[in-house]
Structure 1
Amino acid sequence: MTSTETFQIPLETAEVYEARFVPGLFAEWAPLLTDAAGVRPGHAVLDVACGTGVVTRAVADRLGGDGTVVGLDLNESMLTVARRVRPDLAWQQGDVAHLPFPERTFDVTLCQMSLMFFPDRGRALAEMARVTAPGGTVGIVVPAAISDQPAYHGVVSVIADEAGAEGASLVQTYWSCGDLRELQDLFESAGLTSVTARTHTGTAHFDTIDGLVITEVEGSPLIDRIDDATYRRITERSREVLARFVTGDGALHAPLVGHIVTGIVPA
């Protein structure tokens, strides 16, 4: 299970990510992951591939000043936005394949909606386990397979059809960790035990269908892989495939299915 997508983005895309992806999609999942991993006051927590910091902030709120949390990301643009939003928290640049921490540093290590972008997912989980203390928890969230996505299946098909090979590669990577058996095998190969998995159907909330399209295109590297005409066609066709998820006031409530997986570092 590997991927060549590294999701490197400029600052303006990171700003769109924080303004749109976080409230529209990711804010719902952060407390679910925090709960599943058993984060509590007194813990030292690492948020890997933290992006603009939605999970890091959720953990900080849970700790209530009793404990520590570090948000780590490879992308400095993401960290620039994270520091602007919460300058009081610890943010660090780093690669999940070579985490810049000693063994057994954290009680809990988390990763939300990013495992699919790591070039070597097995190594990433092994590194997350390495820096987690014995008895501690490693927890992730990833989207379920695209075939299990009633709303996003149509949008991804449109983008893959319109955006060419590079655009298709990007959007297909999002859903590439959706096999629960493969995820459990990855956790066990990383030496983690008591692996548990839960599938949750969340909701992507946007004011309009176009709001989702803007988020998916302008909040990701896709914006640099398509021209204006392609963007217009993606928007127009997405209106058709997502129409059944629009509420009476014109808002879009699109189901998003994800897997929450946790494992324990053996003593």
Structure 2
Amino acid sequence: MAHTESFQLEEAAAEAYEAKFVPAMFTEWAQRMVTVAGVSPGQRILDVACGTGIVARTAAEIAGAEAVTGVDINPAMLAVAARVRPEISWLQGDAAALPVPEGAFDVVLCQMALMFFPDAVAALREMCRAAVDGGTVAVAVPGRLADQPGYGPFVELVSRHADSGAMSLLGVYWACGNLEKLERLFAEAGLHGVESQTHIGEAKYSSAADFVAVEVESTPLMARLTEDQFARIRTEAAAVLQPFAAADGALTVPLQGHIVVGRKAKERKR
């Protein structure tokens, strides 16, 4: 499974991502990730494609900051991560060539990023390489767009106004959502004992305008929309998202996602 899109941000957008996107959606998933992966005290943890570091920070609350390393290809994301939690080790590097030794980590985590890697199997093999024998690799990805009752209509709204470049990015978000195919990627990468869980998370926003700000201004989508396109999307978003609005206008939008866990084979003793 190969893709050509990436999730790259300048530092101002990375700051917005940390301030808006992380609390709206990813804090909840980070907590689920470390729980499902079985992160515990005394383990060494690697967060691949760490972004501004929410998974690494969550793992550090259990394993200790000195035991956690975050890797991301985007220096702007890492700059924000280091500002928020400087005691964690942050490294710049590609998921397909992780700048870490073989067998250095007990648990390797990757949240909501696998779909952006040019070669998902190669990235999973690298995660496996970084794990100790018998170590854990856990990945979280959004489910299929067809299974997203809130984000599906929003993507349809964007498609009515945006160009192909914006839709290419939005399409990749959901590209690893087929759970059967995702589990096969783990097997192709040499991971064993593959297990999966599907969750319905809750993405929370103060209003439809807040939803649009988070989903557009805190992501690479902003650079792919004209001012006019963005204005029309912002204007029509309230009607599209009305089914998820409370009386005060606050939104709770469901996000279906999968967490898949595999283990590196233990080396046989001769």
Give TM class, smaller chain.
Answer: over 0.9
In structure 2, give the amino acid aligned to 1:35: T
Q: Name the residue aligned to 1:206.
A: 205
Q: How many matched pairs?
A: 266
Q: Distance in 1 between matches of 2:63 and 2:107?
A: 12
Q: Name the residue aligned to 1:197.
A: 196
Q: Name the residue aligned to 2:224.
A: 225
Using the TM superposition, give the Cα deviation of residue 103 of structure 1 relative to its aligned residue in structure 2, in angstroms. Answer: 1.2
Q: Distance in 2 between matches of 1:95 and 1:89?
A: 18
| Counterparts of residues 110-259 of structure 1 (less than 5 Å) | 110-259=109-258
| Counterparts of residues 90-129 of structure 1 (less than 5 Å) | 90-129=89-128
Using the TM superposition, give the Cα deviation of residue 64 of structure 1 relative to its aligned residue in structure 2, in angstroms. Answer: 3.9
Q: Distance in 2 between matches of 1:38 and 1:201?
A: 20
CA contact 1:16–1:218 (8 Å) conserved in 2: yes
Q: Name the residue aligned to 1:26.
A: 26
| 1:51-82 Cα distance to aligned partner (Å, 9 max, x none) | 000000000001146x6000110000000000
Which TM-score applies when normalising by structure 2?
0.97
Q: Secondary structure at the match of 2:35?
A: helix
Using the TM superposition, give the Cα deviation of residue 235 of structure 1 relative to its aligned residue in structure 2, in angstroms. Answer: 1.1
Q: Secondary structure at the match of 1:254?
A: strand
Using the TM superposition, give the Cα deviation of residue 160 of structure 1 relative to its aligned residue in structure 2, in angstroms. Answer: 2.2
CA contact 1:139–1:263 (8 Å) conserved in 2: yes
Q: Distance in 2 between matches of 1:8 and 1:194?
A: 33
Q: Distance in 1 between matches of 2:159 and 2:69?
A: 36
In structure 1, give the amino acid aligned to 2:139: I
CA contact 2:195–2:261 (8 Å) conserved in 1: yes
Q: Distance in 2 between matches of 1:180 and 1:224?
A: 31
| 1:142-171 Cα distance to aligned partner (Å, 9 max, x none) | 000000001000011111221110000011
Q: Distance in 2 between matches of 1:249 and 1:111?
A: 35
Q: Name the residue aligned to 2:5.
A: 5
Which segment drifts farther, 234-243 or 14-23? Answer: 234-243
Q: Distance in 2 between matches of 1:184 and 1:161?
A: 33
CA contact 1:159–1:171 (8 Å) conserved in 2: no
Q: Secondary structure at the match of 2:180?
A: helix
Q: Name the residue aligned to 2:35.
A: 35
Q: Mark the runs of 5 or more structure 2 residues left unpaired by the alignment.
A: none
Q: Distance in 2 between matches of 1:236 and 1:152?
A: 16
CA contact 2:158–2:233 (8 Å) conserved in 1: yes
Which TM-score applies when normalising by structure 1?
0.98
Q: Distance in 2 between matches of 1:87 and 1:103?
A: 24
Alignment identity in percent? 47
| 1:213-237 Cα distance to aligned partner (Å, 9 max, x none) | 1111111111111111100111122
Q: Mark the runs of 5 or more structure 1 residues left unpaired by the alignment.
A: none
In structure 1, give the amino acid aligned to 2:41: P
Q: Name the residue aligned to 2:70.
A: 71
Q: Secondary structure at the match of 1:25?
A: helix
Q: Secondary structure at the match of 2:181?
A: helix
Q: Which runs of 4+ in 1 moved over 3 A?
A: none
Q: Name the residue aligned to 2:260.
A: 261
Q: Distance in 2 between matches of 1:160 and 1:95?
A: 31
CA contact 2:142–2:258 (8 Å) conserved in 1: yes
